[in-house]
Chains A and B, each alone.
Chain A
Amino acid sequence: MQGTDEILAQRARDGSREAFEALVVAHQSRVYGLALHLLRNPEDAADAVQEAWVRCYAALGRYDPEQSFGAWLYRIVYNHCLDILRRHKRSPIVPVGKGEDELSALDTAADPGLPIQDLVERAEAARGLREVLNRLSEEHRQVLALRYMLDLSYAEIAHLLGVPDSTVTMRLHHAKRAMRRELQRTGEDKR
């Protein structure tokens, strides 16, 4: 079944500028998030996003509307970022969520009806989790970001990474286990 994005992509392929602009506006945040997550430098991420959209536009003729547009687009972004990383080896600059206000970082998930105590507890949990995520291996961070930042299904992640679905399942399980282990270690260190 085709969703709004897939219909927009078909219209963009037929030459509708409005449809393409709607796709850019709808996906820009996640596309930028993925590029920033992989490249870890805001300027490089912005450049990569521009180039990825140009490639996406050029490839619209080959896009199959039966496929999720989001997954197809993120694969273009992901491959482009990998090309950049292969060309220039560089060290991480921006860790996950660094510099963001803890409470505002929870805006997307926070229930405004929650008591302030719960919000503070969740903010502290978010800060702890953010520190732990930065200590995970690249493979684990990547699979968690694809699942929980971009909201891709296991099949879409498998397609993007070029691995079987079962590998994604195991990788996510191991990533979460490593995350809990690190959280436990952090808790013990603080005691």
Chain B
Amino acid sequence: MTHPERWPDIETYADGALGPGQAAQLELHLRECADCTVRLDSTRRENDLLRSVLAPPAPPPYLTDQVLARVYGGQSKPRLRSAFSAGVLVNLATAAMLFGLSVNTGTSVVLMLLVALIGAVVWGGLKGLLFAKLLQVLPPGVLARGVIFGLAVWAATNALLGLTGGFGDDVSFSPTFVLLGSLLHHLLYGILLSWLYARMTSSTDRARS
């Protein structure tokens, strides 16, 4: 025998929203009524189907970053790990380039490789972290950030270490050439670092969302 008058209570019970007294009464009834037990099972299956059909859609991958940028006034949280990795990778690339130049100077290949690797991890990683820390004051935009950061590193490096005359005793360049070459190198370095950091952080966000 069916009990349609109990169906609203059965639905509320299946949602876990029936009051304790009413729930106890219904449970007593369910022990004796097979029809209402079947009704409860079908209501639960119906709820599962509703949950699957109404499952929230995936938001656009850029949305979380946009929300954080709006909330924090255009500055999303710096990702130190991404910045460190980007710094190391960019330094490895430039070290490889310099290594190619240095092979002709007769320096030990193993020594050069070792210096390039240690330099990339330590010096590159530190510059990556510095880039992340400076994101708060750097302007938005990959190119602008890269150019300004490159200029800052170039200025700091030259102020601290001074300009070297060349790559070895037998290879020397004019001071103007070194100055311009160093500037170009740092600008490219900054832009590459900024671009790589943006790529790495956006792929992390996509994976998380």
Docked CA distance A29–B50 (Å): 17
Task: Report the nearest A residue to B59, measured CB to CB.
Answer: A32
Within the complex, what minimum Cβ distance (angstroms) separates B135 from chain A? 13
Contact of A169 with B17 at beta-carbon distance under 8 Å, contacts A25-B209, A109-B49, A148-B51 already known: yes
* A137 lies within 8 A of chain B by Cβ: no
CB distance from A167 to the nearest CB of B (A): 13
Does B97 interact with chain A (Cβ within 8 Å)?
A: no
Give the Cβ gap from A50 to chain B, nearest Cβ, in Å: 5
**Residue-by-residue, is B1-23 near A (CB-CB < 8 Å gives 1, otherwise 0)?**
00000011001100111000000
Contact B63 A50 (CB under 8 A): yes
Say yes or no: is A153 at the interface (Cβ < 8 Å to chain B).
yes
A2 part of interface (Cβ distance < 8 Å)? no
Q: Is the CB of A32 within 8 A of B68?
A: no
Task: Please tell me if A30 contacts chain B, counting CB pairs below 8 Å.
Answer: yes
B67→A24 contact, CB < 8 A:
yes
Cα(A153)–Cα(B70), bound, Å = 31
Option from A100, A126, A153 in Cβ contact (under 8 Å) with B49: A126
8 A Cβ contacts from B43-68 to A = 46-60, 63-64, 66-68
Are A50 and B57 in contact (CB-based, < 8 A)? no
A25 and B77 CA atoms in complex are apart in Å by 14
Of B7, B58, B63, B72, the residue contacting A17 (CB under 8 A) is B72
Return A39 CB to nearest CB of chain B, in Å: 13
Residues of the B chain whose Cβ atoms lie less than 8 Å from the Cβ of A110 = 52
Hey, which chain A residues are within 8 Å of B46, CB to CB?
Answer: 176
Q: Contact between B70 and A53 (Cβ–Cβ < 8 Å)? A: yes
Smallest CB separation, A70 vs chain B (Å): 12
Known interface pairs A18-B77, A50-B63. Does A144 touch B70 (Cβ–Cβ under 8 Å)? no
Q: Is A36 an interface residue (CB 8 A)?
A: yes
Query: B208: CB under 8 A from chain A?
Result: yes
B side interface size, CB within 8 A: 33
Indicate if A149 sits at the interface (CB-CB under 8 A).
yes
| Residues of chain A lying within 8 A (CB to CB) of residue B52 | 105-110, 122, 126
Interface centre among B15, B54, B59, B70 (most CB of A within 10 A): B54
Q: How far is the CA of A71 from the CA of B103 in the complex (A)?
A: 65
Contact B77 A145 (CB under 8 A): no
For residue A145, give the distance in angstroms from its CB to the closest CB of chain B.
Answer: 6
A107 CA to B51 CA in the complex, in Å? 11
Is A125 touching B70 in the complex (CB atoms < 8 A)? no
Contact at B55–A105, with CB atoms within 8 Å?
yes
Is there a chain A Cβ closer than 8 Å to B180's Cβ?
A: no
Cβ-defined contact, A129 with B59, below 8 A = no
List B contacts of A21 (CB < 8 A).
Answer: 64, 68, 77
B17 / chain A contacts, CB cutoff of 8 Å: 153-154, 169
**Are B66 and A125 in contact, with the CB atoms below 8 A?**
no
Q: Does B111 contact A (CB under 8 A)?
A: no
Complex Cα–Cα for A187 and B184 (A): 72
Other A-B pairs beyond A32-B63, A147-B15, 12, CB < 8 Å: A24-B67, A25-B209, A29-B56, A29-B58, A30-B56, A34-B56, A42-B60, A53-B70, A57-B71, A109-B55, A110-B52, A122-B52
List 21 A-B pairs, Cβ < 8 Å: A17-B72, A24-B68, A28-B209, A31-B59, A33-B55, A34-B56, A36-B57, A42-B60, A46-B59, A49-B59, A50-B70, A53-B70, A105-B52, A122-B52, A147-B15, A148-B50, A149-B54, A149-B55, A169-B12, A172-B12, A173-B7
Tell me the A residues contacting B by CB distance below 8 Å: 17-18, 20-21, 24-25, 28-34, 36, 42, 46, 49-50, 53-54, 57, 96-97, 100, 105-110, 122, 125-126, 129-130, 133, 144-145, 147-151, 153-154, 169-170, 172-173, 176
